[in-house]
Amino acid sequence: MTLIIILFFITTFLAFAMIYFKAWEIRNSKIEQSSTLRKILPEIYFRQIEKIMLYLTKHILQWIVITAVKYWFIILAKTRKWSLKKLPKIYKLFKAKNKEIIQQRNTFLSKAILESKIKIKRIKEKVKRDHA
């Protein structure tokens, strides 16, 4: 506790000493005026704002799509489960068909779509585990 009090007095003394020294420099005109003014706020370019808005839009749309897909898969899983028990002929209509994925150029939009497809696949597997 005494160490903290001693440190407090030392820092207070040093703060007053710095203020006194600056006041002495101002009184005696010892301060050199700098010619360059420092910018407080950095310049923000339209391209940076555009990138930020694109990424925010991407995440918001992915969240909306993934939420909708999640509930769609839950409804689909429960319907399949019910139709398998009650009506086996209708269950055959719900069987998934395999599709090949065509490679495209990696643009921002195609990357976002690919990310969404991967997330949707994970959600589909999770729903299958939970509701099947």
**Is the CB of residue 8 less than 8 Å from the CB of residue 16?**
no
Q: What is the pLDDT of residues 23-56, one digit of tens each?
A: 888 888 776 666 666 677 777 788 888 999 999 9
Burial of 66 (0-12, 13-18, 19+ CB in 10 A): middle
Per-residue pLDDT at 101 = 60
DSSP character at residue 37: P
Alpha carbon 25 to chain centroid distance?
49
Q: 22 by DSSP, 3-state: which?
A: helix
How do the pLDDT tens digits run along the chain, 132 residues long?
788 888 888 999 999 999 988 888 888 877 666 666 667 777 778 888 899 999 999 999 989 988 998 999 889 888 878 777 877 766 666 666 666 666 656 778 788 888 889 999 898 888 888 886
Domain locations along the chain: 45-97+104-131
Whether the model clears a pTM of 0.75, i.e. scores above it, the answer is no
Per-residue pLDDT at 35 = 62
